[in-house]
Structures are given as structure tokens and as C-alpha cells.
């Protein structure tokens, strides 16, 4: 289908929201069927570049993403049980092997109650069965809003590197504090110790999750700081400006024949992405 589209389209663009290149994507680039690749993050762009070496006519674009926070109301938190959870697809690679150990080892001044939304047979085969105080549900069996209403904290470790997790935005909007891996897109969303916690290993997960459960005032400050960061950093205006630059790049394609490939940084927030720089060799 792509070769036929190529005959009639002014330009072709592949939008990759993952942290790896698809086989069909690599083949299309090698055949010269894709003019642009569009990315949300620099780390994803650089990771995919490892499989796209030699694509000398391919242009890379970076956008500044937008999250519509109005769909996720900020949830009040009542004293009582320490309620936490995680939400993802029910794929084993979405779960770090120490996930249940973290939940069982972390401490709280009250009883703990957990919820895993995205559980399945393959996940249980990898991790084992959770303790009785952690409920499990298949993916999409509960609305995201209902999940965040339950979970005052999202404590999750994954086996891979996340690009820019939508879960992070949803949690920030809803007032669920993120305790997540110190890598990938989480690093763009979480300011460690201010809007949530970033963790390098399972022991740091235990310490920071326990601190979150015990330090209620600090946790409340994090919830509000995360919501404010979401509104200022990932709002509509910077996203609109970045997309206007994408359209400009598409429009200019007709005049770019013979020019060396370039990276177009269409982000207005250099703390989120990066300044213009040569494509990594």
C-alpha cells in the first residue's frame, strides 16, 4: 500500500510512538518510501536510529506533545488505607520482575491495598500470584478515571524503556503520585522528589514508595506540583507551535532535494527535548 500512496502523496511520514523500529518501517526507509520520521522524544529517536543507519535522505522531526488533562479530574485523597496500583497492557514485558517484591517489601503506616489493572495469565506466569491485598483485573475492565480515583500512587516498574507513557500524564492530572523507573520518558514527566519519584532499582522503589506512604504532606505537595507541571509543560500552546513547524517542514520538502538530512527540533521547551544537533552517526 505504501508504494501506491507514495505515487500520489507529496510527502510520506512515519510516526513511531515506541522505542524501537518495526521491521516494516526499516524496510520502507531502506526503499526510500518514507520522507520523514516523527518522534515525541529524543531518546526514542536515538534508539530507533540504531536500526536506520544509512538513511541519508530521511528527515527526523521532533514534536512537543500535548495532553488533554480535562478528561482526568484531580481526585481528592481521603485518609485511611494506603492505596496504590499500576495500569498497563497485560503483556509480560510491561512488568519488571521485582514488581510484586516491591509491593510486599514497602511499608506504610496503615494497611496497604493495591490494584493491578492489566493482569493476565502470562503476567502471572512471570511474576506469580499477588498477595490477597492486591486486586487484579484484565486490561480495560475498569476506566482509567476509576483506577486513578482508587490509586493515590502509581508504583510501577517495567522490563523495557517507555517512550512517553500516557499513564504518566493521566496520573499527573488525577493526583496519583508516580513512583517509576529512572529511565526513558518517565524522566521527562517526573522531577524526582518534586512531582514524583524516579527509581534506579528495586530497593530505591521500596524506599521511595514507603516514604510516600508515610510523608503525607510531602505526598500532597507532589500531587499538586505534578498537576501544575502537566498544565504548564504539556499544554496546548507549545504543542500547537510545534505542529505548525511540522507543517512547515512538510511544505518545504519540495525545495529540500539534494540537501543533507537534518533534525528539526520543533519543541519550544528545551528541558523536555533538546536543542538542534547533528543526527548521531
Whether residues 148 and 258 fall in one domain? no
Give the separation between CA 244 and CA 26, rounded to whole angstroms: 27
Domain residue limits at 170: 71-233
* Per-residue pLDDT at 258: 44
Q: Which three cell numbers stand for residue 98?
A: 521485582
Q: Mean pLDDT per 10-residue run, the chain (281 residues)?
A: 85 86 88 90 87 77 92 91 96 97 97 98 97 97 97 97 95 98 96 98 98 97 97 91 91 60 46 36 34
157 assigned to some structural domain = yes
Whether residues 78 and 217 fall in one domain? yes
Whether residues 76 and 61 fall in one domain? no
Whether residues 137 and 111 fall in one domain? yes
Whether residues 36 and 110 fall in one domain? no
* Per-residue pLDDT at 274: 36
Whether residues 28 and 119 fall in one domain? no
pTM: 0.85
Burial of 12 (0-12, 13-18, 19+ CB in 10 A): middle
Q: Cβ of 112: how many Cβ atoms within 10 Å?
A: 18
Whether residues 115 and 91 fall in one domain? yes
Give the separation between CA 56 and CA 202, rounded to whole angstroms: 41
- Sign of the Cα torsion 105, 106, 108, 110 reads negative
Whether residues 28 and 111 fall in one domain? no
Total tally of structural domains belonging to the chain: 2
Whether residues 84 and 171 fall in one domain? yes
Whether residues 100 and 41 fall in one domain? no
* Per-residue pLDDT at 172: 98
Please report, for the chain, how many H helices and E strands are present, in that order: 11, 10
Q: String of b and e for 113-145 (b: at least 16 CB within 10 Å)? A: bbbbbbbeeebeebbeebeeebebbeeeebebe
Whether residues 202 and 93 fall in one domain? yes
271 assigned to some structural domain = no
52 assigned to some structural domain = yes
Amino acid at each position: 500500500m505504501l508504494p501506491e500512496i507514495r505515487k500520489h502523496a507529496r510527502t510520506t511520514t512515519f510516526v513511531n510512538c515506541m522505542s524501537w523500529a518495526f521491521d516494516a518501517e526499516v524496510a520502507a526507509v531502506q526503499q526510500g518510501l518514507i520522507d520523514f520520521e516523527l518522534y515525541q522524544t529524543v531518546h526514542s529517536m536515538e534508539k530507533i536510529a540504531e536500526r536506520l543507519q544509512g538513511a541519508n535522505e530521511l528527515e527526523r522531526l521532533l514534536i512537543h506533545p500535548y495532553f488533554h488533562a480535562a478528561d482526568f479530574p484531580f481526585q481528592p485523597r481521603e485518609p485511611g488505607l494506603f492505596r496504590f496500583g499500576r495500569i498497563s497492557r497485560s503483556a509480560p514485558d510491561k512488568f519488571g520482575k521485582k514488581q510484586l517484591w516491591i509491593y510486599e517489601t514497602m511499608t506504610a503506616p496503615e494497611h496497604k491495598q493495591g490494584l493491578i489493572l492489566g493482569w493476565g495469565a502470562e503476567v502471572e506466569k512471570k511474576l506469580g500470584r499477588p498477595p490477597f491485598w492486591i486486586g487484579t483485573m484484565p486490561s480495560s475492565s475498569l476506566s482509567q478515571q476509576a483506577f486513578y480515583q482508587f490509586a493515590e500512587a502509581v508504583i510501577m516498574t517495567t522490563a523495557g524503556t517507555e517512550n512517553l507513557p500516557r499513564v504518566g500524564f493521566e496520573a499527573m492530572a488525577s493526583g496519583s503520585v508516580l513512583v517509576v523507573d529512572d529511565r526513558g520518558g518517565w524522566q521527562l514527566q517526573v522531577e524526582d522528589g518534586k512531582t514524583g519519584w524516579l527509581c534506579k532499582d528495586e530497593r530505591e522503589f521500596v524506599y521511595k514508595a514507603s516514604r510516600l506512604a508515610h510523608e503525607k504532606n510531602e505526598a500532597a505537595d507532589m500531587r499538586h506540583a505534578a498537576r501544575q507541571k502537566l498544565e504548564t509543560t504539556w499544554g496546548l500552546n507549545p504543542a500547537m507551535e510545534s505542529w505548525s513547524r511540522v507543517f512547515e517542514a512538510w511544505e518545504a520538502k519540495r525545495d529540500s532535494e539534494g540537501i543533507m538530512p537534518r533534525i528539526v527540533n520543533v519543541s519550544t521547551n528545551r528541558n523536555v527535548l533538546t536543542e538542534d544537533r547533528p543526527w548521531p552517526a
